[in-house]
Every structure is written in structure tokens, then in C-alpha cells.
Chain A
Amino acid sequence: MVDLRTEIAGVALRNPTMLASGFLDETGGSMGRVYQAGAGAVVTKSVGPQPREGYPNPTIVELDAGLLNAVGLPNPGVIEYEHEVKRAHAAGAVVIGSVFGKDAEEYAAVAAKMSTYGVKAIELNLSCPHAKGLGTEIAQDASAVRDFTRTVKDVVDVPVFPKLSPNVQDIATFAIAAEEGGADGIVAINTLKAMAITPELKMPSLANKYGGLSGPAIRSIGVRAVYDICDKVHIPVIGVGGIGSGRDALEYIMAGACAVQIGTAILSRGLGVFNEISKEMAFLLEEAGFHSVPEAIGVAHA
């Protein structure tokens, strides 16, 4: 019997599958439901200092090998969001709070507030590819990643996990910067900047024109990113991007991730995806002779 429990920077998880930020996590009711459906933890929608409506529709386009979205960081603001975290906690969920802002001070202020709600860690959305002035530029500047991480670390007691953008030349450089800034872990990768066009209408399919691509199309890019990052930093990594099966998750684990996040696969497999992927991982780990998740972390580097 394989032990699926894992741990990231002191945050204990019953299994390595986490809900990725941006999916079913605007409300506490949905986050509680996802946790009860089997996720090891849930990451909140990225929350900022003020309520934000996001972009007009269409905000989501289904493609053959993924999902393109430009929802534009809608969120009720960190003050209102306390109710949602409370509801998720009432359902038993392990919650990680994702935050964003327009500068380091705003990130820190939102993170500080979020940390008072009892979240187990803070995820820094440093890499939303489609919201102007909010994270996009930071993601391209390694020194900003370091400084933002440090500013947030200074004001919160829980672990801080910067989420990195794959839309850069060398993502490992950014992971090193995050580690220098005091990050307790790294989340990789965010979506890839992308576009779809509707030929019949001669226009981009998203109202925002550009969006972030997720799903199977980006999995190999994410695995490569995690592999590169794990060669360069000593802090734990959470792998995300196109995971839709236990085998996909194991790719990330063997690249060096100690947990994974799942989002787009909810579309094809439903909320049962967390339980199913956990079971598939347990089966594959056992078949490969492992007794626990930690034993398999990073073995592809040998």
C-alpha cells in the first residue's frame, strides 16, 4: 500500500493533488466541495485588494488540447474574501491563499490580510499572462520576483510560494530569484500566453484577445520547467500544467515536484479527478516499487 501523504514546506497534505488557482475557487462553497471530492488542498482564486470584475466575455475558449482563458482576475477583494475562506474551512478544506497586487506593497498587504484567515500558505500570482499591470511585468523581471517575495515574506508567518511564468527565456533564473527572496517553495508553471482566432468572424476568440493556455498542450513545457528548476533550487516545487492522469502527475513528481495542481482536467474528468488521479498515482508508484510519494520525487534526475 503506497502512502500518498506529502508535505511542502511544513504544509501536510493527505495526497499530492491540489486544486490549481482559477478553477472553482471564487467561492468557499465550491472550494469545500472540491476538497471533499478528494483534493489534498485547494488554492484560492487570485485575490487582490479591491473587488474586480475581470474582463467581458468571451473569457474562456475550449481548444483541442487545452483551454484558453482571459477572465482578468475577477475577485471580490481580500476583505470580502474572508467569508469564502471561512466557508471552505468549515467544509474541512486545507486552503492556500493566492494573491496579486499592482506593486510589492499591495501584494504584501493582501497576503498579510489573507494570512489572518487561517490559510496554510500564500501563493503569489506573479505571472498572470493576461492582466495588464498586474503580475505580467513582474514575471519578466527576476529582481522583481526576488523583491516581491521578500516584501511578502516580511509580513506573513505562513510559507510563501511564488507561482512562476513559463513566458520567459529561462524559468530557473526566476526560481533562483524567488529562493533568494526567501520563498518557501515554487509553483510552476502558470499558463502560456496564447491566442485563438475565430476565422468566421475574423477576430480573436477572447474579448481580451490574449489569454493563458492551460491543459494537455502545456504539460511537457511544465515538466521541463520543473526539471530545470529542481536542478537549481533547494526549496520544494509544486508542479502544475496539463495534469490529467496519475501518470501525468508522476512525470512532475519524478521531475522533482513534491505535489501537483490540477485545474483544466476537471473539465474532462469532473470533480472526481482528484481522487482518481490519487488512485492512479498509488497504483503506478506501487508498480514501480515505491512505498511513498517522497521516495519518487526527482528520481528522473539520477
Chain B
Amino acid sequence: MPRIQVVPLLEIVRETPTTMTYRFRADLGGQPGQFLMVWIPRYDELPMALSYLGAVKGITVRDYGDATHALAAFTAGDRIGVRGPYGNVFRLEGQSVLAVGGGSGMASMIAAIEAFSQQGARVVTAAGAKNSEELLFVERANAAGEVHIATDDGSRGFHGFVPALADKLLARDTFQQVITCGPEKMMYAVVDLARKRGVPVQASLERYMKCGIGICDACALDDKLVCVDGSIFTGEELAESEDFGHFRRDKSGRRVPA
């Protein structure tokens, strides 16, 4: 049985004003798109995407609550618990890939962007954020292929939301697949426009989780579980979903607007 490993943090990197990367060595695998359950002692245990898959693993997290705020105060040598990797994997399905990332959603996709590029695919990234400071992993994506930028405030690149930028890229170029991760409303738009153009799409979803291993039902999406049936779902699966883009479960299990 996979067990929790307690590991010291080796390096902590501030990526943006709200997002940090934590690097550590752990005896676990990990493929593009997979996540770990990360125990921040005394605070919480949360699902976090693997943003680095090598010998020194990495998770990249936006500071959005008490636990991630506590984690942001950790320094090298402080210890966290990790278990996993969990969830399915971004699959390369063509020679030309459009990766559409919104905000910290790039953390879930960057390993796939790099892996697909290494496997010989042409990877074009559309990275969006509130403003230029919040853009995440643009340099890494740039090393793997072409990058286009969108910012909500127009401080860099396309002035507007990233789905609109993705739509332009899909209109002028031929892609054999789209991958996406970001706020759900953004992904909903990306899945919709990819499907309209007949391009296969995979989206990495986020839900509140307790177990991460497919038994507690906290992360239910319709009759699926984001932790074991996802976190990556295909456009076909999402087109049938009543929850995607509309509903999530709160901590009590109530179905509430997403």
C-alpha cells in the first residue's frame, strides 16, 4: 500500500506574487498531470499537481487559504508529508498540441508540455493570467515550444481571457489535440471551443478531496471521482457531465454552484 513519506523541503521558489514552488526528494513515480496528496503538518492535506517529475520533485501552489498560506512560510529543511502519485495522465494523441493554461493551472500542465515536446510533438502554449506578474512557467513552456500570452489587464500579450486567445490560435493553425488546466469556467470555454472545431481535448479538473484514493466520494463529479477517474477528463466525458462548469461539492457534500 502506498504510504505517506515525510520529506524535507530542499528549495522554495517564488514563481509569482501568489504562487510558490516547493522542491523535495521522494521515493515515488509521477507522470504528467498526476498529483500528490500533500500534508502540511498541523494545517491540512491537499491535492497538489506535480510540476517537476525528475529526481527532485516539485509542487507549485497558489496561496489561496490557511494551509497554503502556512506552507508559504516554510523554509528549506521544513518537512511535509507526501503520498501518491494519484490520478491519470495527460496522453499525447497527435504531433501538434495546443496547451491552454489559466493562472496556476499551468502547474498541472507544464510537465506534459515538456514531455510532449521531448517526445517530438510541436507544443504551442497559450498561457493566461490576471496580469503579467501572475504568468506562470512561461520560460519553461518557451523552451518546449511556442508561447502566446494573454492577460486580463493587458499588461502583457493579448488583452483578454485565454480562451479567446486559444480560439484565435485554433482558427489560424491546425492542432491535433488540446490540453487545458485553469479555472473551471475557463476550461469549460476551452473544452467547448475545441469540441466545436472537432479537436480532441483533455482537461485537468480540481475538486475538494479527502482521501485521494477513490473511497470517500468528496470529489464526485456526476458519477465519477476526480481523484481516480481523473483528474484529467476527455472532452467527450465532459460533454456528458452535468457538473462540469456548473456544480462542485462543498466540504459537506452539498452540490453548489462551481
A residues at B contact (CB < 8 Å): 23-27, 29-30, 32-33, 45, 51-54, 56-64, 67, 71, 74-77, 80, 83-84, 91, 198, 200-201, 203, 205, 207, 263-264, 266-267
- A267 engages B214 (CB within 8 Å): yes
Quote the shortest CB–CB distance from B25 to chain A (angstroms).
14
How many B residues have CB within 8 A of the partner chain?
Answer: 35
A61 to B39 alpha-carbon distance, docked (Å) = 11
Cα distance A267–B215 when bound, in Å?
7
Contact: B6 with A45, CB < 8 Å?
Answer: no
Asked if B222 contacts A29 (CB within 8 A), the reply is yes
Residue of A nearest to B221 (CB): A29
Minimal beta-carbon separation of A81 from chain B (angstroms): 8
The reply to whether A263 and B255 form a contact with Cβ atoms under 8 Å apart is no
On whether the beta carbons of A75 and B215 are closer than 8 Å, the reply is: no
Q: A53-B251, A76-B252 are in contact. Are A62 and B215 (CB under 8 A)?
A: no
**Using Cβ atoms and an 8 Å threshold, which residues of chain A touch B253?**
26-27, 45, 51, 74-76, 84
Contact B252 A201 (CB under 8 A): no
Residues of B203-258 contacting chain A, CB below 8 A: 210-211, 213-218, 220, 222-225, 249-255
Pairs A–B under 8 Å by Cβ, sample size 12: A33-B223, A51-B253, A58-B81, A59-B210, A59-B216, A60-B211, A60-B215, A198-B4, A200-B79, A201-B6, A203-B42, A266-B215
Distance in Å: Cβ of A64 to nearest Cβ of chain B: 7
A58 to B, closest residue via Cβ: B45
**A91 contacts across to B, CB distance below 8 A:** 223
- Give residues 1-59 of B contacting A (CB, 8 Å): 1-4, 6, 39, 41-46
How distant is the Cα of A142 from the Cα of B218 in the complex, in angstroms? Answer: 33
Given contacts A26-B218, A57-B39, 4 further A-B contacts (CB under 8 A): A26-B253, A62-B1, A67-B215, A77-B252
The 10 closest A-B pairs by CB, nearest first: A29-B223, A57-B45, A200-B6, A53-B251, A26-B217, A51-B252, A26-B253, A76-B254, A27-B220, A58-B45
Q: Provide the bound-state CA to CA distance between A60 and B225, in Å.
A: 16
A83 CA to B225 CA, complexed, in Å: 18
A19 nearest CB across to chain B (Å): 11
Nearest Cβ in chain A — how far from B210, in angstroms? 5
Contact A198 B216 (CB under 8 A): no
Q: Which of B2, B46, B81, B222 contacts A198 (CB 8 A)?
A: B81
Partner of A59, one of B81, B211, B217: B211
Contact status B210-A27, CB under 8 Å = no
Give which listed residue, A63, A84, A203, A266, contacts B214 with CB less than 8 A: A266
B interface, by DSSP: helix, strand, loop or mixed? loop
Contacts of A30 in B (CB 8 A): 217, 220, 223, 225
Out of A24, A57, A80, A266, which one reaches B210, CB within 8 Å? A57
A45: chain B residues within 8 A (beta carbon): 217, 253
A165 shortest CB reach to chain B, Å:
21
Q: Are A23 and B44 in contact (CB under 8 A)?
A: no
Q: How far is the CA of A53 from the CA of B249 in the complex (A)?
A: 11
Task: Give A67 to B210 CA distance when docked, in angstroms.
Answer: 13
* Partner of A83 from B223, B224, B252, B255 at Cβ < 8 Å: B255
Chain B residues lying within 8 Å of A51, measured Cβ to Cβ, are 250, 252-254
Q: Are B213 and A56 in contact (CB under 8 A)?
A: no
The answer to whether B222 touches A58, judged by C-beta atoms less than 8 angstroms apart, is no
Contacting residues, chain B, for A205 (C-beta < 8 A): 4
Give Cα A30–Cα B81 distance, bound, in whole angstroms: 29
- Given A71-B210, A200-B6, verify A64-B1 contact (CB < 8 Å): yes
The chain B residue sitting closest to A73, CB to CB, is: B252
Point out the residues of chain B lying under 8 angstroms from A33, CB to CB. Answer: 223
Residues of B within 8 A of A59 (CB): 45, 210-211, 216
Q: Contacts of B255 on A, CB cut-off 8 Å?
A: 27, 76, 80, 83
Residue of B nearest to A55 (CB): B210
User: Contact at A203–B41, with CB atoms within 8 Å?
Assistant: yes
Q: Are B252 and A23 in contact (CB under 8 A)?
A: no
Least Cβ–Cβ distance between A82 and chain B, in angstroms = 12
Compute how far the CA of A30 lies from the CA of B39 in the bound complex, rounded to whole angstroms.
26
Contact A201 B81 (CB under 8 A): yes
Residues of B within 8 A of A63 (CB): 1
**Residues from chain A with Cβ under 8 Å of B220 in the complex:** 26-27, 29-30
